[in-house]
Amino acid sequence: MLKKEQNDLVTQTGPGTPMGDLFRSYWLPILLSEELPENDCPPVRVKVLSERMIAFRDSEGKLGLIDEFCAHRGVSLWFGRNEECGLRCPYHGWKFDTTGQCVDVPSEPAESGYANKVKLKAYPLIEKGGVLWTYMGPAETTPPEPEWEFATVPLNQSFTSKRLQDNNWLQAMEGGIDSSHVSFLHRGDLNNDPLFKGAAGNKYNLADSKPVFEVVEAPGGLYIGARRNAEEGKFYWRITPWVMPCFTMVPPRGDHPIHGHFWVPIDDETCTAWSFDYHPTRPLSDNERQAMKDGKGIHVRYVPGTYRPLANKDNDYLIDREAQKAGRTYSGVEGIGMQDASLQESMGPICDRTKENLVGTDNGIIMARHRLMRAAKALHEKGVLPPGRTVEDMKVRSAAVILPPDQPYKDAAKEALIAKVGVKQTSV
């Protein structure tokens, strides 16, 4: 349970809010490279942290992320002409470069220098791992560029997708660190999904639906270990790292690619759920890549031409009660990604946490909220930069291991939780 003021604090990320400032302390994924495929391609509208912007790639390949609306009379620059190193408003021809600087006001003599007086708000936009990232905080405190392993492996080893989700970011993120739902909501998929099935570890998941948890603080966030019984008194551990504010990785299964998520607020009632899959040491196979494109694993199928899931609330997520009854799916919704999204959206645009009844096994969620609130307040009130901004924080991995009963996973799996170039994931 959270008090109303606490719930407001953690869910509101617009400009000037404490949690908004917190989010503005990190590089956030906002677009796929494919959305700005080439120089002078059409500009794209993006809303992040309740700010509306336009992204474009100019004639020289420079990336721009600027205020969506023209400084002259407020037209959306989405209608703009992306040409000759700038975005030109189609209304009266004002032109802006990737830094937001107005470079041409056709009605005024160029010599007057009037254009110099006009500049739109702009944020840096960089490309890494097939993803475009922005940092919306003060320039003086820019953190190191993204070093998440999925974004640094060769592109043929990774697949990243995003989907729109119609609810506040936090309830989506909380789903990612809520390891106890897997044995219920996703149980039908462990043995069927091409990106999950066949792993030796699956049988422990299915046989033991009452895992025991161990939550350990990490410098940048948390490790959430879920322990299930394995053979000979040993334990099967699934370890999920969470890095502030919104990054998690799912523990691996067999030699399947490893995956994880980012949840980035669009505004307070919608977010982008990012899903990435990669293998640290080998290219993804054609079958794997095709399965991901087909919406298997944590990915989804789309309404053509959009990033909106094909199964969405307008069609009741294509719920199939037969499949639910027969146990092919636990909730009747197909696909792991949509199983999560459908339930999270059903909580409402902003989950009312004053009414929930948490139990001991929800400590991962309780701790994550606690750390978020604490960090947001420290930043807002005292200017203390939040955890999770260093390269080491980003070099994390999830792991699945079998350990003797007396070994703490944090130590026994220490190496397994660090991303290392050329080293395979630790998995069962």
Partner 1 sequence: MLLSESARVTTAQEARFRIQTPNSKPRAVKVIALDSEAARLVDDISKKPWNGAAFFKSLSFEQSGDDNVKAWLNDLAGHTSDLVGEVANADCVVVIAGAGEDAASVSVIAELCNHYHKTLIALVVPQGSYEQDTVDRSLKALRPHAKMLVIAHERDYIEAMLTALRA
The helix (H) or strand (E) run that includes residue 392 is: helix 391-394
Q: Which stretch binds partner 1 (CB under 8 A): 29-37, 96-104, 341-349, 419-427?
A: 341-349
- Say if CB 28 and CB 134 are below 8 A apart: yes
Choose from Fe ion, partner 1, none: what does 243 bind? Cβ within 5-8 Å by kind.
none
Q: Which is nearer to partner 1, 111 or 355 (CB)?
A: 355
Interface residue with partner 1 among 338, 345, 396, 419 (CB under 8 A) is 345
Residue 340 lies near Fe ion (rule: CB under 5 A):
yes
Check the CA dihedral 412-414-415-416 and report its sign.
positive
* Residue 273 burial class via C-beta count within 10 angstroms: exposed 0-12, middle 13-18, buried 19 and up: buried
Q: Encoding tokens for residue 369? A: 């909220």
Record the tokens describing residue 135, joined without a space: 């940092």
Nearest by Cα to 39 from 82, 101, 99: 82
Answer whether 72's CB lies under 8 Å from 89's CB: yes
111 binds, options Fe ion, partner 1, none, Cβ within 5 to 8 A by partner type: none
User: Of 76, 101, 270, 361, which lies in the binding site for partner 1, with binding defined by CB under 8 A?
Assistant: 361
Decide: is 124 part of the binding site for partner 1 (CB under 8 A): no
C-alpha closest to that of 400 among 409, 391, 389: 409
363 binds, among partner 1, Fe ion, none (CB under 5 to 8 A by kind): partner 1
Task: Kindly identify the residues of this chain, within the stretch 131-190, that bind partner 1 according to CB under 8 A.
Answer: 166-167
Between 115 and 367, CB nearer to partner 1: 367
* Calculated CA dihedral for residues 403, 249, 313, 321, nearest 10 degrees: -20
| Contact range with partner 1 by CB under 8 A, out of 181-189, 247-255, 340-348, 384-392 | 340-348
Q: Give CA–CA dist 149/84, Å, rounded.
A: 35
Is 40 or 214 the residue whose CB approaches partner 1 more closely?
214
Binding site for partner 1 (CB under 8 A): 1-3, 166-167, 212-217, 269, 313-317, 342, 345-346, 348-350, 352, 355, 357-363, 366-367, 369-370, 374, 405-406, 408, 411
Binding site for Fe ion (CB under 5 A): 340
